[in-house]
Amino acid sequence: MNKGKSVRTSQVIMTQLVLPQHTNALGTMFGGVLMSWIDIAGAIASQRHCAAEVVTASIDQLNFVAPVKIGWVVNMKASVNFTAKTSMEVGVRIEAENPKTGEVFHTASAYLTFVSLGSDGRPRPVPPLHVETDIEKRRFAEAQRRREQRLANRKHET
C-alpha cells in the first residue's frame, strides 16, 4: 500500500505578476484569472503528494477579501490539508504584494478537492497524509469536517 507523506513534501509557493491582460477596466485583477492560478497551485501540490495526474473535483469555498491591482505580485501558498481514499483537499492562501510600498495583503483563500488518476484515467488511491504540527492537525480536522459536509450536500443534490 502507499506510504504516507508529510504536508511539507508537497507544499507549493507560486508567484505571479499581475499584468494588463489579467485586469479589468478598473485596473484590478479578474477573479477568474486568480481562480485559474489557484487551481494550478492546488494541482501542483496534489500532484506532488500523490505522484500522479490529478483532476479538480471541486472548489467548495473561495473568498475574495481584497482587490489585487495591476503591477502587484501575487503569492499563492498551497498545501494538502487532508486525504481520503482517492481524493485530497488542498488549501490555497493568496497574498498580494504592492511592490512600491512592500505591503502584503491577504486577498483570497480557497479549498479545492483533487482526485488522483491512474494510467487508465480512473481514480486511484493516494498516500495518507502525515500531519506533524499543531497547525497541520487543526487543518486536517477542519478539512475532514468540510469533506463530511460536501458528502452530505452531494446526497441532497441527488
Helix, strand, or coil (residue 101): coil
Flag whether pLDDT at 157 surpasses 80. Answer: no
Percent of the chain residues past pLDDT 90, beyond the cut: 88
Domain that holds residue 87: 5-157
> Would you place residue 158 in the very low, low, confident or very high pLDDT band (cuts 50, 70, 90)?
low
Contact 128, 9 (CB under 8 A): no
Arithmetic mean of pLDDT over the chain: 94
Tell me what pLDDT residue 119 has.
94
Tell me what pLDDT residue 120 has.
96
Buried b (16+ CB within 10 A) or exposed e, 18-55: beeebbeeeebbeeebbbebbbbbbbbbbbbbbeebbe
DSSP H stretches of helix in 25-105? 31-50
> Would you place residue 1 in the very low, low, confident or very high pLDDT band (cuts 50, 70, 90)?
very low
Q: What is the pLDDT of residues 48-68, one digit of tens each?
A: 999 999 999 999 878 899 999
Domain count, the chain: 1
CB neighbours (10 Å) of residue 66?
13
Flag whether pLDDT at 70 surpasses 70. Answer: yes
Flag whether pLDDT at 46 surpasses 90. Answer: yes
Q: What pTM does this model have? A: 0.91
Measured CA to CA, the distance from residue 7 to residue 44 in angstroms comes to 13
Q: What is the CATH number of the domain that holds 67?
A: 3.10.129.10
> Would you place residue 28 in the very low, low, confident or very high pLDDT band (cuts 50, 70, 90)?
very high
84 by Cβ neighbours in 10 Å (0-12 / 13-18 / 19+) ranks as middle
